[in-house]
């Protein structure tokens, strides 16, 4: 019972307070890749904690506890006590429902999101096949439209799309920066990170961490693509291209250089940030690893305590 309760309290605390902890400073703007990993790890940590809490309630079932006790040579009574033997058999059914429900509910939303996105991309690709023409020199599709717009379509029909308005207003160096930005999205499979975050936030709309993770991951992948473009092209050219494309409305199934974060990203390009120090990056990666490990440590703690015990305390 103790392990399940601690896991649920951990999941509740991280789900509520996680956004505040992860956004206390602008460190993720200086290391967007680490920022994406941190939000993904926090999301996974909450989900894993809930599933493990459910499984912890199943451990005290007579046969399961007996088999585990024999396998690890530990006291069955202590094992059952640490995992909630007092709640049996109701606790086991609650635990199975909790763990199975969390897995099925989350998995169902993720699969639905991936299938729906693939269908919408296919339809968009079919539309492009009719409306767009290919520019081999740019390795991009061109649509006749006055609004300057650039975006990429991931998946089986991956491509970069530009409007004639963008071609008319972007200088050569700016156009090259935009193409580098969009290809960074495709190369990094940023669409998967965004789609997973969106799916989980829709599965659990009441959890602050998941909603904020969706917003931050969507923003941070744009910073990643900006940085990729800035490594190959002048930062001023990247910023100028963002200004030109800021008003463009990117299709829901795509990722694009414009959007509502463009103003912030322009300032970021023109006022270069200092990258995180090596020490800060190591600390950040250790924090990400800790988010994954903590639920596992909580879950196995009663079993470890039972293994370390010198005597089996029997209730008379």
Helix, strand or coil, per DSSP, at residue 273 = coil
Task: For residues 119 and 14, give the distance between their C-alpha atoms in angstroms, rounded to a whole number.
Answer: 34
Whether 1 and 84 have beta carbons less than 8 Å apart is answered as: yes
The predicted structure's pLDDT at residue 314: 47
Q: Which residues of the chain have pLDDT under 70?
A: 1, 60-88, 303-316
> In 3-state terms, what secondary structure has residue 81?
helix
Angstrom distance (rounded) from CA 294 to CA 297: 5
pLDDT at 241: 95
**Number of neighbours of residue 89 by Cβ within 10 angstroms:** 10
Q: Which residue has the tokens 């879950």?
A: 299
pTM: 0.89
What is the pLDDT at residue 316?
Answer: 42
* Dist. CA 279–CA 115, nearest whole Å: 41
Question: Which phi and psi angles does 74 have, rounded to 5°?
Answer: -125, 170
pLDDT in tens, 191-228: 999 999 999 999 999 999 999 999 999 999 999 999 99
Structure tokens at 142: 């061109």
Measure the CA–CA gap between 203 and 279, rounded to whole angstroms: 36
Looking at residue 6, what is its pLDDT?
Answer: 93
> Distance (Å, rounded) from C-alpha 76 to C-alpha 303?
10
Rounded to 5°, the CA angle 299-304-306 comes to 115
Q: How many CB atoms lie within 10 A of CB 22?
A: 21
Task: Give bridge partners of residue 151 from the DSSP assignment.
Answer: 161, 256
Tell me which residue has tokens 């897995």: 103
What pLDDT score was predicted for residue 247?
A: 83
- Kindly state the tokens that stand for 44: 């996974």
- Tokens 């693939």, located at residue: 118
pLDDT value, residue 133 = 95
End-to-end CA distance of the chain: 20
Give the per-residue pLDDT at 71: 47
């Amino acid at each position: 019972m103790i392990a399940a309760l601690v896991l649920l309290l951990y999941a509740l605390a991280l789900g509520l307070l996680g956004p505040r902890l992860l956004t206390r400073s602008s460190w993720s703007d200086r290391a967007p890749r680490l920022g994406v990993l941190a939000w993904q790890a926090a999301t996974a940590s909450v989900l894993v904690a809930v599933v493990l809490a459910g499984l912890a309630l199943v451990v005290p079932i007579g046969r399961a506890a007996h088999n585990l006790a024999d396998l690890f040579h530990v006291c069955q009574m202590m094992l059952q006590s640490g995992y909630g033997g007092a709640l049996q058999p109701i606790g086991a059914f609650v635990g199975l429902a909790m763990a199975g429900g969390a897995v099925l509910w989350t998995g169902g939303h993720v699969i639905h999101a991936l299938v729906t996105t693939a269908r919408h991309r296919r339809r968009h690709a079919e539309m492009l096949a009719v409306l767009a023409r290919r520019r081999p020199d740019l390795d991009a599709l061109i649509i006749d439209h006055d609004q300057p717009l650039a975006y990429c379509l991931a998946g089986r029909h991956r491509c970069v799309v530009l409007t004639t308005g963008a071609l008319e207003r972007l200088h050569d160096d700016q156009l090259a920066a935009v193409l580098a930005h969009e290809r960074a999205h495709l190369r990094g499979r940023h669409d998967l990170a965004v789609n997973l975050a969106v799916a989980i936030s829709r599965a659990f709309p009441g959890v602050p961490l998941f909603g904020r993770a969706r917003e931050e991951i969507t923003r941070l992948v744009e910073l990643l693509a900006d940085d990729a473009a800035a490594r190959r092209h002048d930062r001023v050219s990247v910023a100028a291209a963002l200004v030109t494309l800021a008003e463009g409305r990117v299709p829901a199934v795509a990722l694009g250089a414009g959007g509502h974060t463009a103003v912030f990203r322009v300032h970021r390009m023109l006022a270069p940030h200092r990258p995180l120090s090596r020490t800060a990056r190591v600390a950040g990666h250790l924090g990400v690893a800790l988010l994954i490990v903590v639920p596992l440590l909580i879950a196995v703690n009663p079993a470890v305590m039972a293994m370390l015990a010198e005597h089996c305390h029997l209730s008379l």
